[in-house]
Amino acid sequence: MRTRLWKIFKITAITILAVIVVVVGLVATWTYTQMRPQDITAARVEWEKNLSAEAADRAALDLISKMTLEEKLNEMAGSGFTPMMLSMILKQTAAPVYSGGNERLGIPPLSFTDGPRGVVCGKSTAFPVAMARAASWDLGLERRVADAIGKEARAQGANYWGGLCINLVRHPSMGRAEETFGEDPWLMGEMAVATLKGVQRHNVMACAKHFALNSMETARFKNSVEIDERTLREVYLPHFRKVVENDVASFMSAYNKVRGEWCGENRYLLTTILKQEWGFQGFVTSDWFWGVYDGARGVHAGLDIEMPAVKHYGDGLMKLVERNAVPLSDIDESVRRIVRTKLIYLTREDPQEYPPELAVAPEHTALAREAAEKGMVLLKNDGPLLPLDRSKTKKIAVVGHLADAENTGDRGSSNVTPPYRTSALKGMRDYLGDDAAVAHADGSDLAEVSRVAGEADAVLVVAGSRHDEVGEYISDEQGLRPSGPEQKKPIVIKRPFQDEPWVMAGGDRFPLALKERDLKVIQAAAKANPRCVVALVGGSVFTMEEWKEDVPAILMAWYFGMEGGHALARVLFGGVNPSGKLPLTVPKNESQMPFFDEFADTIKYGPYHGYTLFEKEAREPAFPFGYGLSYTTYAYENLSIATPRVAPDGRVEVKVDVTNTGKLAGEEVVQLYVGFKGSKVERPVKLLRAFDKVALAPGETKTVPLAVHVKDLAWYNSEHHAWEIESMTYGVFVGPSSRDADLLKASFTVTSAKRP
């Protein structure tokens, strides 16, 4: 009996084990299939090359006529988040998230990857954050970075990139400031166009986000922005309109409300303005998970795709269509936009092939270093202390809690996973090699900071924000709409076998001062060694009044990407002449800035912020918008206007001579602002309307041409719902920053009023 029971037990155990093996094998096979990038160009052979917009539209309508309702709705929602999560767990990197696709009809899926500091999928090049690249004011450089991102997106199996974040930084506390291009709509728009052109060159659809008024982070899931129509049109929408005019493929709606209505369900934004007034021909996706709450309202508003998976579209929409609660024509219109856009990008000729080895290619990592170098902003250089003399610097101390941190930004949706990151400490050691000793103190022991600083020929303090202190904010369900610090509980998703979590975010950063840990390290280092440099790391600016006068040199280094440590060393020792300029105004304190409450249910956005607010209120900043020093000097002379009188449909032609009056080669950002002193309506003192970055050898002079289209000087008449150009005399201000003392002045006259 015992033997028989034993046999039964063994058979049962073997059977259970076999079942487990089969199940595990099936799960593993399914997992591999889900994680493997789909062929997003497989349908290419079925279509003729380079379909025109009209031909793609006709083809889309023909395909819609052949689709079932279920197939149409499949195009209007993401396929789910599971493959990406599995990849995060098993591969330690993200995978694309798919949407739509119809093998029967030869329609490829959307294959989404995020940005903006690179490609989130796989092991990819981590470039400096967008704010750091905005500080370069270099459109050619930005297009090269975007070109590399487009190549890597294709190499990682993606055809849709969500990295074109163009929300204006109304207040430097904005949590996701790092992802965007600063406080000024003109700089934002110019950088955005350079980005989308570089990415879309490789038939990767760029997604402009978050539409609109998403300039706060912690309260984004509940906040309603109140704004008058003129401020909306003149300040917060021009850069979005500019990407439409340059054929951006897609938009993503924002989480927040505008005038009490969720952006993903806001017909005025998504249809009236975006699609009807601006003529946008692409498709609109929701922000993820909480971007739409009512399927019928989303479709009616013009929200074409719910991402990353079905919550309110799918079967829910099918039932609404079947009982005529949602018109089938609205569904067809969304599907037409989606399919039309995919066909345009599918049938374009690729400029090259996209093998996997393009990801983190050597030329891309070199470009990441170049972008970091050109975005660093030298704010102060008494003495001058910088550049450090390598022959006289035999020992340098690198101190601070971020000195040896591989700190490339937050770890939310924009987090890129490169094969390595270079800290400031490692970059210094790699650069100096055996030429100098590099000491380190992490700041936890102030006596140790004082000792290593005092023994060195120079000391570098690396201060600023950790990845978990500011950035994209996603809370647990209880704290989804926090009303104060006690409810601010961000999600932390741990990944097996890794110390780095996937999402760990801090939301908005208020106040703007450095934390006490940094202030104490700066104080100890500066007291021990007068040859003290502070490098600030982060995605936005910091107030500095507590310590600014205690150190001779300050460098805004930003979140500087995977090669940032090497870039920092090269800038400090003069291997690179810094040429960055501030894309944000640095205030002396928060009282100089617009009202900010990161937990606000409702907030009003006014017409002035950044430099326009400082100038309107005659406030003196710590450092003005557009400001940045160099290791050489420049002189501006001979400002001239070839068109002193111009028609409303004309263009103002401006020239200025810029001379490198120093001993080192360098690059200078020439900025042109237009003033509105004679206006009959309320206007800013001046607005940026052109800029160019020029390289100059020592003693070299270049005549720099700049141009302003008169239509870009219009103001929005809310009463008439129209843009109007005033017939008056406008000021022209040209120089190295927005500061009045830095600018040459001239004027021109618009001869007669006309609506563009």
Q: Cα Rg for the chain, rounded, in angstroms?
A: 27
Q: In what order do the strands lie in the sheet with 205-211?
A: 97-99, 110-114, 160-165, 205-211, 250-253, 283-285
* pLDDT at residue 603 is higher than 80: yes
- Provide the annotated active-site residues: 287
* pLDDT at residue 106 is higher than 60: yes
* pLDDT at residue 552 is higher than 80: yes
Number of H-type helices and E-type strands within the chain:
19, 26
* pLDDT at residue 415 is higher than 70: yes
- Strand segments, DSSP code E, in 557-625 are 602-604
The pLDDT, as a whole number, for residue 756 is 47
Please give the average per-residue pLDDT across 334-363, as a whole number.
97
Q: What is the pLDDT of residues 569-602, one digit of tens each?
A: 999 999 999 999 999 999 999 999 999 999 999 9
The pLDDT, as a whole number, for residue 499 is 59
* pLDDT at residue 270 is higher than 80: yes
**Whether 565 contacts 422, CB under 8 Å:** yes
Q: How confident is the model at residue 40 (pLDDT cuts 50, 70, 90)?
A: confident
**In what helix (H) or strand (E) does residue 723 lie, and over which residues does it extend?**
strand 722-724
- Strand segments, DSSP code E, in 25-99 are 97-99
CA distances for 221 relative to 332, 395, 472, 660, angstroms = 30, 50, 12, 50
* pLDDT at residue 211 is higher than 50: yes
Amino acid at 352: Q
Please give the average per-residue pLDDT across 424-437, as a whole number.
96
SS3 205: strand
**Whether 427 contacts 562, CB under 8 Å:** no
| CA separation for the pair 128, 369 (Å, rounded) | 8
* pLDDT at residue 33 is higher than 50: no
- Residue 350's contacts (CB-CB under 8 Å, 6 or more residues apart) are 154, 202, 203
The pLDDT, as a whole number, for residue 32 is 40
| CA separation for the pair 87, 95 (Å, rounded) | 6
Q: How confident is the model at residue 479 (pLDDT cuts 50, 70, 90)?
A: low
- Chain center to CA of 27: 37
Q: How confident is the model at residue 28 (pLDDT cuts 50, 70, 90)?
A: very low
Q: What is the pLDDT of residues 146-155, one digit of tens each?
A: 999 999 999 9
| CA separation for the pair 274, 620 (Å, rounded) | 37
* pLDDT at residue 432 is higher than 50: yes
* pLDDT at residue 178 is higher than 50: yes
Please give the average per-residue pLDDT across 600-623, as a whole number.
97
Burial of 23 (0-12, 13-18, 19+ CB in 10 A): exposed
Please give the average per-residue pLDDT across 685-693, as a whole number.
98
Please give the average per-residue pLDDT across 275-286, as a whole number.
98
| CA separation for the pair 694, 669 (Å, rounded) | 7
Q: How confident is the model at residue 754 (pLDDT cuts 50, 70, 90)?
A: low
Q: How confident is the model at residue 235 (pLDDT cuts 50, 70, 90)?
A: very high
Q: Strand 686-696 relative to strand 666-675: parallel, antiparallel, unpaired?
A: antiparallel
The pLDDT, as a whole number, for residue 476 is 64
* pLDDT at residue 256 is higher than 70: yes
Count of CB atoms within 10 A of residue 45's CB? Answer: 7
| CA separation for the pair 94, 309 (Å, rounded) | 16
- Domains of the chain: residue spans and CATH: 21-357 (3.20.20.300), 632-750 (2.60.40.10)
